[in-house]
Structure 1
């Protein structure tokens, strides 16, 4: 009988120790991070976030993407720990369409859509009948049209949802602008053949355009500002808290001031 109790005691102790060991292993915060982003946000992560995380003991890899689908798929599958390329509207639509549960944790300075021209130096100089290039994909097409509206170049129908606007929703076009729909990535190059172009900030930066030279820059609403996104189960993790702390730091603000001029800053940064 004593042997039976001794065996029971040993097995119980082993089970407890095994459970404690498993808990300790699963409770450890991950210190090797892979963050995904598109240009120029990959640069923002490498210059303004990764160094601060590495000071906290993380090993950080920034993986660059050239599309707006794979970063979320990679995050959902666990190949990424976080990403930076999208705004809240896009994220919510993506979650709905793909059945994912990704969440944002903090917004960051965002490159605005700007109206650029090699022929005009101000909106007042825009002539009647001028040609204007805008993106041909639904999301960026709508943004290009709303930027043209906010710049006073056109009016859109009041009853439409601006997020889904198309050229058919233009109510008034006093300068009789002629819209040319092209691939968003080709908008900077289109400046050689059109009078104006509404260029997405990331493509403007990638093409070497100075954001501050735009004759009009979009005042980006909060829901269109890009943000750090993680899986829902990581929202309150130490990793997420450390990323937020890095982005809210003075060091990050200095990097933005020096290397990301013309980016629209979120309200929490004081703009």
Structure 2
């Protein structure tokens, strides 16, 4: 009986120890799951938006105790793939229409944190000094991809040069969406990256802001700059699952800060500000 009691006591002790272990495990697991991320990787395409992360967002976030690594990309596909795969925590390079279409086509969940000041498309010319000089039959270089073409047609309409059909689909827009072209402008579609060079060979070239800056063009030299809808402004994007995490909230707050706007005004002249920055001004 004594031997049986000793064995029973050992079994009960092991059970109690196991119970204590199982009770403490979820607590430690929960702590690990809610641990704050302080080392962030933010992706951006090389050029003005990589500069914006490096010169503006990074120093503000570092004051909040974060370590920021800027990861540069040379195309518009890898930044979202890297974000979805968890290789980076956020990116800055795309507008809303591209983000939503990319997420749908690739079956991933992306969400914007906040739009940022964005280099607008402009009408550039080495032949004309103002819009009133533009002659009938002028050749106009435009982007061949549908999204940039939609912006191009909108800018030409704002300039009073054409009229486009209402409710244009920005993912399927074409020259057929032009309703009126009184000056009989001749559109010459080119890859967007070729548009800065085209200024020397055509009468007008409508150059997206990022390509203009990459070619060392001065945005303020444009005959007219785009009054860009917010859907076409670049934004800070994260995985949807990370929207409520502290680092995402701190990134949004960094962009909303007075320090962010001050540096934008000093170092990113000509960039169009999103509506949230213009409210109350």
TM-score between both structures, scaled by the size of structure 2: 0.92
| Residue 5, structure 1, aligned to residue 5, structure 2 | no
2:151 equivalent in structure 1: 143
In 1, Cα distance between the equivalents of 2:57 and 2:29? 31
Q: For residue 216 of structure 2, give the secondary structure of its aligned residue in structure 1.
A: coil
Q: Aligned match of 1:120 in 128, 141, 145?
A: 128
The alpha carbon displacement at 1:94 in A equals 1.2
The alpha carbon displacement at 1:161 in A equals 3.2
User: Larger C-alpha radius of gyration, 1 or 2?
Assistant: 2
Q: Residues 143 and 163 of structure 1 are in contact (CA less than 8 Å); yes or no, is this contact kept in structure 2?
A: no
The alpha carbon displacement at 1:149 in A equals 1.3
1:263 equivalent in structure 2: 271
Are the structure 2 counterparts of residues 159 and 262 from structure 1 closer, same or farther at C-alpha, using a change threshold of 3 Å?
closer
2:23 equivalent in structure 1: 16
The alpha carbon displacement at 1:10 in A equals 1.2
In 1, Cα distance between the equivalents of 2:227 and 2:264? 17
Larger CA deviation: 16-25 vs 209-218: 16-25
* Cα deviations by residue, 1:119-166 (Å, 9 ceiling, x for unpaired): 112111111111110011121122212211121111123364355321
The alpha carbon displacement at 1:22 in A equals 2.0
Unaligned runs of 5+ in 2: 1-7
2:37 equivalent in structure 1: 30
Q: Residues 146 and 162 of structure 1 are in contact (CA less than 8 Å); yes or no, is this contact kept in structure 2?
A: no
| Residue 193, structure 1, aligned to residue 201, structure 2 | yes
Q: Residues 141 and 205 of structure 2 are in contact (CA less than 8 Å); yes or no, is this contact kept in structure 1?
A: yes
Are the structure 2 counterparts of residues 19 and 161 from structure 1 closer, same or farther at C-alpha, using a change threshold of 3 Å?
closer
| Residue 64, structure 1, aligned to residue 77, structure 2 | no
In 1, Cα distance between the equivalents of 2:239 and 2:168? 33
The alpha carbon displacement at 1:2 in A equals 2.5
Q: For residue 49 of structure 1, give the secondary structure of its aligned residue in structure 2.
A: helix
| Residue 222, structure 1, aligned to residue 230, structure 2 | yes
Are the structure 2 counterparts of residues 159 and 267 from structure 1 closer, same or farther at C-alpha, using a change threshold of 3 Å?
closer
1:53 equivalent in structure 2: 61
In 2, Cα distance between the equivalents of 1:159 and 1:100? 27
Q: Residues 71 and 83 of structure 1 are in contact (CA less than 8 Å); yes or no, is this contact kept in structure 2?
A: yes
TM-score between both structures, scaled by the size of structure 1: 0.95
